[in-house]
Amino acid sequence: ANLEKGSVKWASPSNIALVKYWGKKKNQIPENPSISFTLSECKTITEVTFSKKENANFSFDVIFEGENNEAFKPKIQTFFERIEVYMPFLRDYHFKIETSNTFPHSSGIASSASGMSALALCLMSIEQELSSSKIEKPYFNQKASFLARLGSGSACRSIEGELVVWGQNESTDSSDLYGVKYEGEIHSNFKNYQDTILLVDKGEKQVSSTVGHNLMYGHPFAEERFKQAHTNLDVLKNALTMGDFKTFISVVESEALTLHAMMMTSNPYFILMKPNTLQIINKIWEYRKQTASNVCFTLDAGANVHVLYPKSETNSVLQFIKTELVEYCQNQHFICDQIGFGANQI
Ligand code: PMV
| Ligand 1 close to Cβ of residue 40 (< 6 A) | no
For the CA of 112, the nearest atom of ligand 1 = 4
| Ligand 1 close to Cβ of residue 38 (< 6 A) | no
| Ligand 1 close to Cβ of residue 301 (< 6 A) | yes
Burial (CB count <10 Å: 0-12, 13-18, 19+), residue 94: middle
| Ligand 1 close to Cβ of residue 43 (< 6 A) | no
Burial (CB count <10 Å: 0-12, 13-18, 19+), residue 313: middle
Q: Under CATH, what is the fold of the domain 192-338? A: Alpha-Beta Plaits (3.30.70)
Read off the pLDDT of residues 26-66 as tens digits, 9 standing for 90 and up. 999 999 999 999 999 999 999 999 999 998 899 999 999 99
- CA separation for the pair 236, 242 (Å, rounded): 10
Note the pLDDT of residue 111.
84
Q: Under CATH, what is the fold of the domain 5-184? A: Ribosomal Protein S5; domain 2 (3.30.230)
Q: What is the mean pLDDT of residues 100-124?
A: 88
Q: DSSP 3-state assignment of 68?
A: strand
Contact 150, 35 (CB under 8 A): no
CA atoms within 13 A on the CB side of 99: 30
Read off the pLDDT of residues 268-320 as tens digits, 9 standing for 90 and up. 999 999 999 999 999 999 999 999 999 999 999 999 999 999 999 999 999 99
What is the interface pTM, i.e. ipTM, of the complex? Answer: 0.99
- CA separation for the pair 266, 134 (Å, rounded): 48
Is the pLDDT assigned to residue 225 strictly greater than 80? Answer: yes
Q: Where are the domains of the chain?
A: 5-184, 192-338
Is the pLDDT assigned to residue 107 strictly greater than 90? Answer: no
Which of 37, 154, 213 for a ligand 1 pocket mutation test, highest count of atoms within 8 Å of Cβ?
154
